[in-house]
Amino acid sequence: MIKGADVQTEVALMRRLQRIGALPPGSLALAYQPDQCDLLVIQDGAGARSGGAGLDQGAAGRPLWLIDTGGRLSDPAHGPTPLGEAAIRQVLQALLPAQADPPVPADADQAPLAQQLRQRLAGRSGRAVLSLDGVPVLLLDFAAGTARALHSARQADNLPGLLGPGFERLVLQPVSAAQAGAEDDAPPLPLTPLLWQTALRMRMVPRLLAPMTESTALRMTQWPDFRVLAHRHDDFRLCSLLLKQASTATAAADLLEIDPGAVRAFFNAAYLSGHASPEHISLLPPPATAPEGPRFAPGPAVAQHARRRQETGP
């Protein structure tokens, strides 16, 4: 539990604790009820020490740390000196229950997250919590097609910017009793557009989401909601192409003369949101073999003209 911190601070701390403690995956989770916590972490500031003492009264011997604005942890029982990594590791490992065998991650035998999300979207039923580094961030309602920010994530002004770069560390989990009642506390967000925007923000140099590979040809099965696409001209072109012809990311980038990284990001968004399905064959003929005959391909020049008109107005 981190009292008074924003979601970025929580995620950063959880990653750091996981690394320092060398803990098994999934053994660290953020809880927001003091009686569910084995370790209390409180944002340092005026009143933190007295408030923390109050929280600590219910569990004698439970560690209580303070975290300052620079991310440094300290134990108020030992003064303001920041805790070293060895001291942090000692406390964390002491909290782990003794186990003969290392724990098996809960999702060890599960499909990649993108595939899980696609299946749940297509099923249109049930709910789940999306956690980032053990921090519960979103309550997903697949039946309603909505997502609600949880706890400190409600104050996040850019959820795709939070989820996208950490996509590989996201985990889909069952909804706990405490989280089940959270739906009234945050406005519902359309789930598909949120996933689309998250996919576009995954990384600076995007890689295709598993199970897609560079040899995967993707076909769009429907036009996405244009409120998802916003006004991204190259995404229009990719939609048009992939609706009519399955294509690999490389082939689509070559054909439309678009940056391959942007195409991969689009592939991820279309796949994750369920608007496209993989086909493991490349059907695109090389341009030289296209049939002869009257045809009109405005290409980038016309497209750029249209774009310029939009930017400058009528």
Partner 1 sequence: MTETRVVVGASGAGKQALLSGPAAMLSAVLGLSRVDLRPEWDLAGTAATLDQAGATLPVVPFDVRQASQALMLLDVLVSQIETDGLLGR
Kindly list the residues in this chain that would bind partner 1 in the complex (CB under 8 A). Answer: 222-223, 225-227, 231, 233, 236-237, 239-241, 243-245, 255-256, 287, 290-291, 293-299, 302-303, 306-307, 309-310, 313-314
3-state secondary structure (DSSP) of residue 105: coil
Between CA 180 and CA 228 the distance in angstroms is 28
Provide the minimum distance between the beta carbon of 156 and partner 1 in the complex, in angstroms, as a whole number.
24
Pick from 229, 276, 234, 285: nearest CA to 257: 234
Instruction: Provide the minimum distance between the beta carbon of 299 and partner 1 in the complex, in angstroms, as a whole number.
Output: 6
Nearest residue to 40 (alpha-carbon basis) of 69, 8, 70, 77: 77
What distance lies between CA 61 and its chain's CA centroid? 35
Nearer CB in complex with partner 1: 187/291: 291
Residue 134 or 274 having the CB closest to partner 1: 274
Looking up tokens 């020049």 gives 301
Instruction: Determine the Cα–Cα distance for residues 93 and 126; give it in Å rounded to an integer.
Output: 35
- Distances 233 to 201, 249, 306 between C-alpha atoms, Å: 17, 17, 9
Owner of token pair 């997250």: 113
Separation CA 244–CA 33 (nearest Å)? 52
Nearer to partner 1, 19 or 124 (CB): 124
Whole-number Å distance between alpha carbons of 198 and 228: 11
Rounded to a whole number of angstroms, the distance between the first and last alpha carbons of the chain is 55
Q: How many residues appear in the chain?
A: 314
Distance (Å, whole) CA 211 – CA 289: 31
Q: What is the radius of gyration, based on Cα positions, of the chain?
A: 24
Q: Output the six-digit token pair for 92.
A: 């964390």
